[in-house]
Structure 1
């Protein structure tokens, strides 16, 4: 059973990065709307309107000469003008597509610069579609646009722009954020944060039956908040967008576990169950990703990382001695599990900031993987270091 649900979901979800794109390009007193005056619209402070329609496909060009999406878009614009919702003289018409294809009618419309170019582009469309029958799915829209409203079509084409993007619409966001002199390594975090905030605002507006409109002032406030966080070099959790239940993450965790690195063998020897081990693999991977990103973005350096590991190692050594003295009645497995629990629960800071929850257990596993520490009381005998290591 075939379904076009993935394509429909992409079409709807693409409005979020497109709205964010226009907010990044907007100015004081501008307002960006979603599903108010088309898919995405920008009401400029000077009274002008940028009306955008978004067309997407997961298989090919959604704007072919006989595309319903193409002719329905122009039909909707003409209906909005005739109904008084849009002033054609104060509106710029933007059609965004996430896929390119062979050049056709829409490209002729986009290239038209003068009145003569516009008339020529329409004549080209008429010639290309002259054999279109009235029972074709595009006919009602094509007939309404070209045959019954050609004068308005000419005005629209003169203020029309075709924009071809890529994928889900995030590449354009990266470029706009780069223009604001944001370090490369923090762009993804900004996109994740701002897209999440925007989606929440829009969904809440729709749920309360209000128009989904975001002012430049509200967006500017949010952008400054997250940008200040990045400039202050906070210990950003770069893995926060990945939930533990995410299928991709689950597969990555299980694939890593199958390799059975040393730190996993150390956990197995104190008999952690499968779910506990997978939890620790997740901690290890998340801590590793964050450490790499923090280094890359110069949030921490080798000296800070070494000092953090040193404090964790000292705590491990002290706890190991304490347990040996105070818990003489416990067996080796219980001592190992208790030592692991104590170390995972350790509260430690990096640059006087509390790191994400996975950082401390994940770092301990990295130390165990390097044979710096262990959990079983006899871990050094069970896992002797190889010569030269």
Structure 2
């Protein structure tokens, strides 16, 4: 099932016209609600479930042999779901046609209409609420639906088709259909759903990291659902799959770890764009090849982006970057001092470059200092060394005379007199 008409977009003024931005918000509402359901299932149920968006309905959930089909309607404040509401009848048409055609098994399918609209007392929606409310009356609801269809003066072809879809069903099938329908009014809107997810994310990752955790989970989920929607018969998100993703993300937010983001690990960087950087000049001074310089640029770009994101999301502890860089510099200092002693004052330029390459080889292939014990992504170490080598007054370098060499490169060329 596709199309914005099924997406539950927000009516801008309660009228017939949907604003483009409101329709987009309706789709986001579906995504958010589906993710919220996944998180709740992960926290309360086993892995035997699956959820799909815009498959057999706005949201389709399977738990064992039972199927839940959900229609979502996000509406402006004050809108009411009346017996002639288009939201109600369009939803009934979808389910009535599916039941008549045998596309849904009413014995094992629950049908939910979730709307932010109000349910007026004694309206059809009011009468089809959960039995626990004490207001449920399927027989009366069916009578009111048939009466509303008969009394309507509408010329809308969509509504007329909706009336016919329900009233044209055999009475036993009408009864079976309404027995499976549950209307939930005044439900949470997209803002409320996201607030609820933030509370659950705080349980998984802590209050300070809840927003960062949820942002990453949403990014994965939305990409995954888009993939499902774009592929004919695309596979739903399963409980097993969600458990793997959620648990992996949870581990990344533990006290001894930091998240490494997929979009950052896919960054490659461009050596030409970084050609004027000090860390690139340092590599050129000792004769590192262009391909390896490209790898260095990649590590630098990734480390810079990842560290910036950690900082912006307040995932780092006070002074943590400074302490990490102190460790890196001190490890470099020990090796650099050995190199200086072994070279001595009479070393040739060729010897200096050869030893400098060994220092850089250590950084490139051996130095693996974790900012936290669980965070073992190698670009963090290598890229951080390049960041230290890139400072206006570099704190690390490879050539024994790197500071003087860089100064010469940065000095403006003398203009002949």
- Taking structure 2 as the reference length, the TM-score comes to 0.56
Relative to structure 1, is the Cα distance of residues 196 and 327 closer, same or farther in structure 2, using a 3 angstrom cutoff? farther
Cα deviations by residue, 1:65-87 (Å, 9 ceiling, x for unpaired):
99977644322223444538343
Name the CA distance, whole Å, in 2 between partners of 1:318 and 1:186: 44
- State the partner residue of 2:12: none
Aligned equivalent of 2:92, options 56, 69, 74: 74
- State the partner residue of 2:349: 328
- Which structure 1 segments of 5+ residues have no match? 58-62, 385-389
Relative to structure 1, is the Cα distance of residues 43 and 329 closer, same or farther in structure 2, using a 3 angstrom cutoff? closer
- SS at structure 1 position matched to 2:350: coil
Cα pair 2:367 2:382 within 8 Å, conserved: no
Cα pair 1:235 1:294 within 8 Å, conserved: no
Aligned equivalent of 1:140, options 122, 140, 161: 161
- State the partner residue of 1:373: 395
Cα deviations by residue, 1:195-250 (Å, 9 ceiling, x for unpaired):
748976996999796974734x675566445535543623431x32346469xx99
Relative to structure 1, is the Cα distance of residues 91 and 221 closer, same or farther in structure 2, using a 3 angstrom cutoff? same
- SS at structure 2 position matched to 1:32: strand
Cα pair 1:64 1:70 within 8 Å, conserved: yes
- Taking structure 1 as the reference length, the TM-score comes to 0.59
Cα deviations by residue, 1:278-327 (Å, 9 ceiling, x for unpaired):
64662352242365389736599468525433345426734874789877
Aligned equivalent of 1:40, options 39, 42, 59: 59
- State the partner residue of 2:13: none
Aligned equivalent of 2:277, options 264, 271, 277: 264
What aligned pairs does 1:249-328 form with structure 2 within 5 A after superposition? Answer: 264-265=277-278, 267=280, 276=294, 279=298, 282-289=301-308, 292=311, 296=315, 301=320, 304-314=323-333, 317-318=336-337, 321=340, 328=349
What aligned pairs does 1:150-229 form with structure 2 within 5 A after superposition? Answer: 155=179, 158-161=182-185, 163-166=187-190, 172-180=196-204, 182-185=206-209, 188-189=212-213, 192=216, 196=220, 212=236, 214-215=238-239, 219-220=242-243, 223-224=246-247, 226-228=249-251
- Which structure 2 segments of 5+ residues have no match? 5-19, 130-134, 412-417
CA-based RMSD? 6.1
Cα pair 1:41 1:51 within 8 Å, conserved: yes
- SS at structure 2 position matched to 1:51: strand
- 1:240 equivalent in alignment to 2:262: yes
Relative to structure 1, is the Cα distance of residues 115 and 166 closer, same or farther in structure 2, using a 3 angstrom cutoff? closer
Q: Which moved more, 1:114-123 or 1:311-320?
A: 114-123
- SS at structure 1 position matched to 2:114: strand
- 1:362 equivalent in alignment to 2:383: yes
Aligned residues: 356
- SS at structure 2 position matched to 1:296: coil
- SS at structure 2 position matched to 1:233: coil
Name the CA distance, whole Å, in 1 between partners of 2:96 and 2:194: 30
Cα deviations by residue, 1:57-102 (Å, 9 ceiling, x for unpaired):
9xxxxx9999977644322223444538343797351437xxx7xx
Q: Which moved more, 1:373-382 or 1:358-367?
A: 373-382
